[in-house]
Amino acid sequence: MATSITPEREITDPRPLAIEARGLVKRFDTTLAVDGVDIAIPEGAIYGILGPNGAGKTTTLRMLLGIIDPDAGYRRVLGAENPQNVARRIGYLPEERGLYPAMKCFEAIAFMGALRGVPLDTGRKRGKELLEQHGLGHAIDKQIRQLSKGMAQTVQLLGTLVHEPKLVVFDEPFSGLDAINQGKLEVLIRGLADKGTTVIFSTHVIAHAERLCEGIAIIAGGKVPFTGRVDEARDRIPAQVRLETRNAEGPWRAALPADTRRVGDFWYFPLPESGVEPLLKALIEGDAGIQSLSIERAGLHDAFVAIAGEAAAADMITNAAGEPA
């Protein structure tokens, strides 16, 4: 049994950890890019790292991959303290996509496999198979420069998977993809997790994380104010009650909390800790004339705003503007 460590508490999880990092720090000249990041990711999980650009997501991922070394802190990836010792079991799609423009698609995949130890012939064969499986059979012999941006991105993605890694790290994988290809990528990520592959991706589009992730880390200004399950993040914000009554005044008003807001015909207030039943009872006994009552659970976006702050959320929205969610 492994212990997933979050800043505030420990959660027991039966799965071993694919990644465990504590207190990672990275400084570039005078800039503190990452300041004490703690992350614990169980094997087979889909895990999102959320934050605006410049928050430290890429630097954190690079430290976890061993591309750069942390100035301080501890990391353990697939059981190895040095990620380079497990490099062939990791797939990595960097944010800045790149392939050799003159290479044929299947050769590009084979080359990326060769970098991870797959013999070239095997890589070529797998490359063709992967292209066929993902609807790019017609592009097998095409050069990368002949493909659309989305297709080239898919080829690189397949190159990331050609060596059948146990851990896949995607840096902003949805960036630059249209809605259809984003949907396909979500399916692919779920498929990887179903096979037991651990998937980590960074994103500044919260909707992707909300749909896909079991766990998330929120990064802002190089710090991680939250790591844990998505529902735990949502639980940071109390559920909101939306109430519509026939009577505007009456004894029932005493049952509403002090921070209740009136918007149009509705009353909004946090769900009391005592739960909904005592509230209902007080409203009925106080002759509120309930027309409707609903309890709305907070979305991840709301949780992000609450945890990371408005400024970080503003950056996220600016960064994500124009991208399909």
Partner 1 sequence: MSQTAISEGGRLPMWRAAWVVARRDFSAILFSRSFIFFLLGPLFPVIVMGLAGGVGAQVQSEAAVADIGIAMEAKDVDAMLAARGALAEQMPGVVPPMVELERLRPGEAYDARAVLERAEGSLAAVVTGTLDAPVLTATEERAARWQGVVGLVAGNAQAGSVPAPASVETAIVGTSGAAETSGRLRTAQIGQVLLFLLIMLLASMVLSNLVEEKGNKIIEVLAAAIPMDALFMGKLFAMLGVSVVGIAVWGTCGAAILFAGGQSLSDYANPGVGWPMFFLLFPLYFAMGYLLLGSIFLAVGSLASTVREVQTLSMPATMFQILVFFFASLAVTDRGGLIEYGAMAFPLSSPFAMVARAAVEESLWPHLLALGWQGLWVFIFVKLGANLFRRRVMKSGPRQSRRRFGLGFPARAQAVAKEAG
Task: Answer yes or no whether residue 67 interacts with partner 1 by CB under 8 A.
Answer: yes
Of 8, 14, 310, 322, the residue at the interface with partner 1 (CB under 8 A) is 310
Q: Which of 75, 116, 124, 234 binds partner 1 (CB under 8 A)?
A: 116
Q: How far is the CB of 115 from partner 1 (least distance, A)?
A: 4
If the CB atoms of residues 254 and 321 are measured against partner 1, the closer one turns out to be 321
Q: Interface with partner 1 includes 229 (CB under 8 A)?
A: no
Strands 72-77, 17-28: pairing is antiparallel
**Residue 126: which residues within 8 A CB-CB, separation 6 or more?**
109, 110, 113, 118, 162
What is the DSSP code (8-state) at residue 22?
E
Q: Please state, in angstroms and rounded to a whole number, the distance separating the CA atoms of residues 316 and 250.
A: 43
**Interatomic CA distance for residues 87 and 184, integer angstroms:** 26
Helices (H), 28-104: 57-65
Beta-bridge mates of residue 296: 240
Rg (CA), the chain: 24
Contact between 112 and partner 1 (CB under 8 A)? yes
Q: Is 6 helix (H, G, I), strand (E, B) or coil?
A: coil
* Residues 215/67, Cβ–Cβ less than 8 Å: no
Using CB under 8 A, pick the residue from 3, 7, 72, 100 that binds partner 1.
100
117 near partner 1 (CB under 8 A): yes
d(CA 143, CA 104): 4
Could you tell me which stretch among 226-234, 249-257, 285-293, 310-318 binds partner 1 (CB under 8 A)?
Answer: 310-318
Q: Binding string, 259-278, against partner 1, x = CB under 8 A? A: --x-x----x----------
| 150 near partner 1, rule: CB under 8 A | no
Pick from 135, 191, 278, 309 the residue near partner 1 by CB under 8 A: 309
Contact call for residue 196 and partner 1 (CB under 8 A) = no
Instruction: Name the segment binding partner 1 (CB under 8 A); options: 3-11, 64-72, 214-222, 286-294.
Output: 64-72
Q: State the minimum distance, in angstroms, from the CB of residue 39 to partner 1.
A: 17
CB atoms within 10 A of CB 309: 13
∠ CA 252-253-257, nearest 5°, is 120
Q: In the complex, which residues of this chain contact partner 1 (CB under 8 A)?
A: 28, 33, 53-54, 57-59, 62, 65-68, 78-80, 84-90, 92, 94-103, 111-112, 114-117, 156, 159, 171, 237, 240, 261, 263, 268, 298, 301-302, 305-307, 309-311, 313-315, 317-319, 321
